[in-house]
Structure 1
Amino acid sequence: MLKFQFGRCGSVSVVEPMSYPFCKKQIYWRYGTMISPGYSKGLRFLKTHSLIPLAVRYDVSSIARNDESFTVSYLINSCGLSPESALSVSKKVQLKNPTKPDSVLNFFKNHGFSQTQIRKIVERMPNLLLSKAEKTLLPKFQFFYSKGISSSDLSVVLSSNPSVLGYNIDNCIIPNFNFFKDFTRCDDSEVFLAYKNCSVILSNSFQSTIAPNVALLRQHGVPDSYIMTELVRHPRFFTLNHDKFRRTVEEVEKLGFNPLKSHFLAALRVLVQISKSTWERKLNVFKEFGWSDEDFVIAFEKFPECMSLSEHTIIKKMNFFVNTMNWKSTFVAHRPIVLGYSLGKRIIPRCSVLQVLLSKGFIKKPASTSFLICSEKDFLARFVTPYEDLHLLKLYKENMSLEN
């Protein structure tokens, strides 16, 4: 039996599946009053509100549901998305059949992309599944290959930041690639590395967003070599609103940083990234471990990045140095570079080796942090290899990555 529900404003919804001919079916008002096809009012209703549009509307609605079901299924089974992610992505793209998406997936696979990398791209840019791979994707890949970028590097970068695949190759990608390269005088591979960190590098907003901030740094005497190195490594912070960027540059100068020194840009990068309240919270963490205002000024001047660390990371590292290694907090303040090293990959493994050597009397307590600063090769040659009987290499590896 076919049932329709009519809203107060004339809207109609199908309650049960329907089939032709219409004249044999019954129609129900929302509140249960039946209108039979033989009833005169019902005939007038049918004449005024044709059922054909309702049938079309029902069919379209059914097709839409089928498309959504197919899209979700395809995203899960062919693209590797989780059900939750597939449902979310299906709201951004509707797939009618597997022809185009299959060609896109095969295109990425043929260019060395792993299933995980493809999944990341689909999650970030699902509309790519509707692309004509050979027409829209291939020219972009060929351009990057012509710049000496390997397929392995391409897969890594594009899976983490695929937005460039949505840009026009002739009007956007090529001119902006060449502009950034000429502007920074860097290699092709460095342009692509900069893009990985900030998609603006290959978008049309580069000249209007980044160039004015670069010009400002030049006006304040920052050497071009420092600017260009920073622009390639950390392009995103150059995209800051120009007025805020200018105010922050002036603040860094007031703090006493010399524009001719590399720490000037490091301090600038830190200040543009954190709010005043965050700054105060992190400063208080250092003070809780015994730093005075003077200690902080010394540490920040030597290693501005110490304020880029999260409060949790600052607490873990300071706690390890002060409470586990029994270092004075002022010792750390005068050597703040140690705060920049990984607790699990460098600090704990190396300190565990030193503690054994100290307990055995093989070395004296180091007066510097050179054992943390030196390369792994030098550290092993100096503190591990000469003491094979102590099995320090095993200890070193066991302590690796115990903490993040």
Structure 2
Amino acid sequence: MLGLRLRECILSHILSSPSKAAFSPLRRLLSATAAPVFPNPISFAVEDYLVGTCGLTRPQAPKASKKLSHLKSPTNPDNVLAFLAGLGLSGADAAAIVAKDPQFLCASVDKTLSPVVAGLTRLGLSSPEIGRLVSVVHKQCRYRSIISKMQYYLPLFGSCHNFLRALQRSSYSYLLSSDLDKLVKPNVAFLRECGLGACDIAKLCIREPRILAINPERVRAMAACAERLGVRRGSGMFRLALQAVAFLSEEKIAAKLDYLKNTFRWSDAQVSIAVRKYPNLLGKSKESLKRRSEFLVSKVGVEPVYIAHRPTLLSYSMEGRLRPRYYVIKFLKENGLLDGDLSFFTAVKMTEKVFMEKLISPHKEAAPHLAEDYATACKGEVPTNFIFRWTRNRL
């Protein structure tokens, strides 16, 4: 029992220590004491180990233990946990990995995990990047094939950061579990034929990582659908069009086009112009589109045809930009403080810094509460109060 307590104390210190300098001697000590602590196999309770040492909750432990019923001692799991701590992963990180992939505790540190880390290091990944990769795609890190796949993906995505972003959007790690030669490489070659460069492909796949891992014929069908919307291959909008139609059926696209026409009172030609200029319209929810239509057309008085030719108006936040800036422009015009004929669209497109410099700061004396009230409106609060104060100050 003394040996067991000593071992648990050492392992607990390793998992809680962020210092790699402290990790090395502790790991050597752990290895030196790696002789079986449980001479009787029956004495190793897997569920208790998962809870007490790995940090799983009691409800998580029974499900995980079913995949570890063959374990007779904690020796290999201890080594794996120490290995994860050496990558800079916390106890909570390790618990999350074990809960999702209990068999990670069965991986050989010397034969599998260490060679994988060595291979990833040779590709230029830092220890924190490797730690994040293991956290996201722990199962694939149990196979050395991940090294060759990372060797292909890193130049394509431009950085490990970009690749990790794509992996985190994919619940099933499509990119690392898919066949490079049969799926990924043919899809990349086709996207390049469509005029997309590596940067465009990376941006597309960060948003839609599955697009590289599906049958190439489906990707060709998506490209054809984007072209039918009026977005030609090689244009700057083609990537966004592909992203917009990816995994949408023809029926859903047709229904969304009809909804856009009815909501904004657009003709077929106008809806075509809007989608061609801003393909992401197809991804907007009906509620979002309805609210913007009611505000822009009914409240602001913007003509539907004007919106069709400037569809990016529909990309801005209602609470954070459209509504607050509308009230500022309205107030400035009504009080004769606006020089020239500034359009609402121009005001909306301005960066926050430029908007403040051009339309808020110059009126500190005439409207001392303007900046404060604009900030309040940007938080989504109804601007009735500051309109009242402006009127009072003016009087």
How far apart are the structure 1 equivalents of 2:249 and 2:354?
39
How far apart are the structure 2 equivalents of 1:108 and 1:397?
46
How far apart are the structure 1 equivalents of 2:60 and 2:295?
40
Moved over 6 A (4+): none
Cα deviation code 1:273-330 (max 9, x no counterpart) = 2123332443343234233222211111001111122334333444444455443443
Percent identity at matched positions? 24
Q: Describe how 1:3-402 pairs up with structure 2 within 5 A.
A: 67=45, 69-70=47-48, 73-74=51-52, 78-79=54-55, 81=57, 85=60, 88-94=63-69, 100-101=76-77, 103-114=79-90, 117-133=93-109, 136-156=112-132, 158-168=134-144, 172-181=145-154, 184=156, 186-187=158-159, 190-197=162-169, 199-203=173-177, 205-219=179-193, 221-224=194-197, 228-230=201-203, 233=206, 234-292=208-266, 293-323=268-298, 325-343=300-318, 345-347=320-322, 350-351=325-326, 353-354=328-329, 357=332, 360-363=335-338, 366-388=342-364, 389-390=368-369, 392=371, 395-396=374-375, 399-400=378-379
For the residue of structure 1 that corresponds to 2:232, the secondary structure is coil
- Where relative contact order (Cα < 8 A, 6+ residues apart) is larger, the structure is 2
How far apart are the structure 2 equivalents of 1:356 and 1:102?
67
Cα deviation code 1:229-258 (max 9, x no counterpart) = 456644432323222222332333343322
How far apart are the structure 2 equivalents of 1:296 and 1:131?
55
Cα pair 1:299 1:336 within 8 Å, conserved: yes
User: TM-score if structure 1 supplies the norm length?
Assistant: 0.64
Aligned twin of 1:54:
none
How far apart are the structure 2 equivalents of 1:225 and 1:126?
36
User: How far did residue 356 of structure 1 move?
Assistant: 5.3
Cα gap change, 1:258 to 1:140, in 2 (>3 Å): same
Cα deviation code 1:100-137 (max 9, x no counterpart) = 54554454445343565445434433322333456543
Give the CA RMSD over aligned residues.
Answer: 4.0
Moved more, 261-270 or 230-239: 230-239
User: Unpaired segments of 5 or more residues in structure 2?
Assistant: 1-41, 382-395
Letter in 1 for 2:278: F
Letter in 2 for 1:70: D
Bigger fraction of residues in helix: 2
User: Unpaired segments of 5 or more residues in structure 1?
Assistant: 1-62
User: TM-score if structure 2 supplies the norm length?
Assistant: 0.66
User: How far did residue 228 of structure 1 move?
Assistant: 4.0
What is the aligned residue count?
Answer: 331
Cα gap change, 1:342 to 1:260, in 2 (>3 Å): same
